[in-house]
Structure 1
Amino acid sequence: MGLSWTPVRVLAVTDCERTDCCGAPAHAWVRVEAWSPRRAFLTSAVPFVRAAGVPHGELAGRAFLAELDVTAPPGNTDTGGERLEWPGLQVAPSIPEQSVGTPTVQMTASTLMPAGGPEMDQERARRLARALVPGALSVKTLVIPRTPPGKLRPRHTKDGHTYKADGDKEAATALYLRRAFRQPWGGNLAVGAVFFRPDRQRIDGDNLLKHILDAGNGIAWHDDAQITASYPVIELDRKNPRTVLVVARHVSSLDRSNVGAKRPRGRKRR
């Protein structure tokens, strides 16, 4: 079973007029993105009323979390209203306002990244992996607990030598990658990352991702030319800055299986 805390959104609520049903005063049409982002499921509104503490007429549009088996979506015979269960059902938390004078951004479970703190990082990694490579079997996830650094341009000394201005930060990131990868992966790869920054400094996702790609050369992959799909996401978390990283096998018509392959001895490169 693939039990995990999964977002559930109530799309609409209808009064129940059937006498042979589950006895609930109302039914809710809900969407579980992990089961199907396009399909609505019919279920009793009672557990949602209890979790939210509001009348069933006020449920539409509300987001919840439930501990569901994401690998076993219900079939057509399980959506009659009385058969679905919602273990651990609770209202999905929203991200509070971070500073006075700044508009509040309410992140809910309907967005790509679910609400909550570091306890939701595994769910974020699962969603990111599904967005990058749907159905991928080889997926590696890890969390780097430090402020995500950006990629800096090389610096030049007065005598003309070039050096990496961010060499120390790149080496620190490489240590975390080395713990997750015993040897570099070959072939085409997809890399996704959620960068939780501690402030509102203006920095683009590609710059943050470039730092990860360079740090992983020779450790997580042979060369970042293998990365044929990428997805950076930037979020704000003042208390717990970190990077949630996902690496997965990727299929592309631009084959990178020869990157890092050893050439036969005695054959010169032309």
Structure 2
Amino acid sequence: MAGNLCYAYAVVPFSPSLERAALGGVHGVADRPVALVRSGELAAAVSSVPETDFSQAALEAHLEDLDWLERTARAHHAVVESLAARTTVLPLRLATVYLDDTRVARVLEEGQEAFAGLLARLTGHAEWGVKVYVEAAPSAPAAPAAAAPAEAADPGRAYLRQRRHQHQVRRDAWRTAEEVVRRIDAEVRGLASERARHRPQRGRLAGTGGENVANDAYLVPHELAGEFRRHVHRAAEGSPGIRVDITGPWAPYSFAGPGVQEGAAPG
């Protein structure tokens, strides 16, 4: 008969009041209540989840189910953000699952030095996302100039000329966007503690219109967040056709550190 497994969301510094203050009434993945498992000065936020959905085989099958992944990611994120509003949080990878609370406590004990070091590095910081877009070009751009007589008599040549013009406009826009990215990095130097580069988003992930040129995350001290946003916006001034979106503050998903987000097979 299938039982339950232990789903882990994040590692936090232990505080006697944290479970009630941050997790009271919070339901996580599979609509299960969330609690803390303590080991020394550390704790992990966990909930019980059904083995039928979170065994290794079940998780592999769920990777093909986008609706399931979205529900699980939203629930996972909600728990992490609830903790981040109260304390320093080290997010764990989606679907980090262990056999039981005892195994979670052992992982905390064995990794105590590494976890404590990462939490110290993240204390007083939040993650901010900065995305740079080339705005979508008009669907029917005006011709660059009056066609030459030979081109007027040759629609194919006129078409090629227009296509060359469109490609040049796009290349110029991308160069401008790349320059904006360089200016942003220069502007926030000294304000952000770290930067993480992510792959530009495409298709539905890109959100609103335009081509995503840069998709970066910055680790910013709380007291410098307003100045950071102002400097990012300033870097994009005077760049028509370029859009910069700033999102945050977020829990520091992009800065959880190597090894910490390695998923643990039930065991």
Same-fold status (TM-score > 0.5): no
Higher relative contact order (CA 8 A, sep 6+): 2
TM-score calculated relative to the size of structure 1: 0.28
TM-score calculated relative to the size of structure 2: 0.28
